[in-house]
Amino acid sequence: MTSTINKVYKISVLSLVLILSACKDEQKTIKYSTTTTEGSYSSAVFSPSPQLKNHQVAAFVVPTDQASLSFQVSGIIDEQFIKIGDAVEPEQKLFKISNPSLEPQIQQFSSQIDAINATLEQNQAEVMRFKNLKKTNAISQNELDRLTNQSDNLKANKKSIEAQLEQAKSLFDETYLKAPFAGNIAEIYKEAGEVISPGEVVLVVGGVSSLEAPIFLPSFLHRNLKLGQQLTVLYDQKTIIASVKEISLTANSKSQLFKVMLDVPIMHEIKSGEKITVQIKENIGEYFKLPIESVIDDGINQPFVFLIEDNKVLQSPISLIEIINNEVIVKMQQNGEVEVVTGGQTSLAPNQVLVKS
């Protein structure tokens, strides 16, 4: 027995803290436990396979339907009918404002229309009388045309005022702010007594029927997704299956991230604004996945593993790709199946010919 055979190799346990979790697909291996004249060792047969790295991306859920509501007219807020967190139904009244100028406008337009109708009634009677007189040539055609044109002008003026009346009534209806859909009151920015301008946001209503979550990804994760793909989402240590419903094809010019929108089902009492963790698997390539204890690192040479080939021990260098829990993903010179020593390396040495006892 040579001194090389008796040489003891120190096995250092590689450690690396990752926020990544391992893909649960176990690599199929054939395991051996062998005793030689020099000692015992264990080994297993491994082959390269596609390896997935699981990334965890934080996101916040928001309502699919969300609306910032504002009045279309200026005024003073008279009443507030809701508070933050209240559930509301479609067309439910939320706020009321007063605008002293609206009601007088409606009354003015209505009075003008009434006056025009009375004048039109008289005008129509005159037109009929003039037409009869024209038959006997008692009046000229010019007089009849003048009266007819007056009637047309009255009708046009009435139509214009009617349009202004409808607009005034529409603005009067806007003195009530109503919910556009069923939802919850998410934010309130104004209160009774405040003066507001047209378009000034008063409150935000979020829908309750569905939720979504935007996530922002670098290109190496973005290319792993497709529309309709299902993703595992963790919420309060519970699992939810979300689906990809929108994928941006253009990255943000500043962040260089792609926006992806997820459809998140409502379950486990999840609510708008709460945090979720999205799990996205990245295909990092085809490599060997080995037990961490099979890797030998003497602190001097490149990390390596012992292989068994034709009852001979071979030292094979490795390139570390990733460490996931108690396994290492490594690149090796070999491409097919290899028998890797997974335990008892201290009883072996490079180029040792094994003699089984």
Residues 280, 155: Cα–Cα separation, whole Å: 68
Q: Is 356 contained in some domain?
A: no
Phi/psi for 51 (5° steps) reads: -115, 140
- Asked if 267 and 145 sit in the same domain, the reply is no
Q: What is the pLDDT of residues 149-170, one digit of tens each?
A: 887 887 888 788 777 777 666 6
Please give the residue that has the higher pLDDT: either 119 or 21: 119
Task: Tell me what the mean pLDDT of segment 132-141 comes to.
Answer: 73
- Asked if 188 and 72 sit in the same domain, the reply is yes
Q: Is 354 contained in some domain?
A: no
Specify the number of domains making up the chain: 3
Q: Is 352 contained in some domain?
A: no
CA-to-CA separations, 115 to 109, 129, 168, in angstroms, rounded: 10, 22, 18
User: Of the residues 240, 273, 306, which one is the last residue of a structural domain?
Assistant: 273
Match 């792609």 to its residue by tokens: 258
Q: Who contacts 85 (Cβ-Cβ below 8 Å, separation ≥6)?
A: 184, 185
Residues 170, 72: Cα–Cα separation, whole Å: 10
- Asked if 123 and 193 sit in the same domain, the reply is yes
The domain of 243 spans 210-273
- Asked if 72 and 130 sit in the same domain, the reply is yes
Q: Is 125 contained in some domain?
A: yes
Q: What is the pLDDT of residues 200-251, one digit of tens each?
A: 999 999 877 789 999 999 999 999 899 999 999 999 999 999 999 999 999 9
pLDDT level of residue 8 (50, 70, 90 thresholds): very low
- Asked if 191 and 103 sit in the same domain, the reply is yes
- Asked if 239 and 130 sit in the same domain, the reply is no
User: Of the residues 253, 273, 293, which one is the last residue of a structural domain?
Assistant: 273
- Asked if 35 and 118 sit in the same domain, the reply is no
